[in-house]
């Protein structure tokens, strides 16, 4: 069912992936892979990339098998910098002790 839903999303439609998948599913076109290493990744979708995960290179592996991604650092805004400067005694309006 996930493949059927993916077929009606904008990416596969605009990327021209819908008709090749349908032709391959009906046996009117051979299933081919640009490289043998792509077969495990594109096998479920008959050699046609339909999911973002396939383009990411992990082929839709469950999350527990994917490498952990680092959380991006929060940007430092002016308020955080001012508080840090106040703690260091360099903030506005501070007087040397």
Q: Is the pTM of this model over 0.75?
A: no
Phi, psi at 65, each rounded to 5°: -95, -10
pLDDT at 97 exceeding the cut of 70: no
Name the percent of the chain lying above pLDDT 90. Answer: 11
Render pLDDT for 4-30 as a digit per residue (tens, 0 to 9): 778 878 878 888 888 989 999 999 999
**In the chain, % of residues over pLDDT 70:** 61
CA of residue 22 relative to chain centroid, distance: 25
The pair phi, psi for residue 54, each rounded to 5°, is -70, -35
């Amino acid at each position: 069912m996930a493949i059927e839903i993916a077929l009606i999303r904008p990416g596969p439609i605009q990327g021209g992936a819908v008709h090749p998948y349908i032709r391959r599913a009906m046996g009117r076109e051979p299933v081919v892979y640009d490289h043998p290493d792509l077969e495990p990744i594109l096998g479920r979708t008959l050699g046609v990339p339909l999911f973002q995960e396939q383009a990411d290179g992990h082929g839709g592996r469950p999350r527990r098998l994917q490498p952990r991604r680092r959380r991006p650092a929060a940007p430092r805004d002016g308020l955080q910098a001012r508080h840090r400067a106040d703690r260091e005694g360099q903030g506005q309006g501070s007087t040397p002790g």
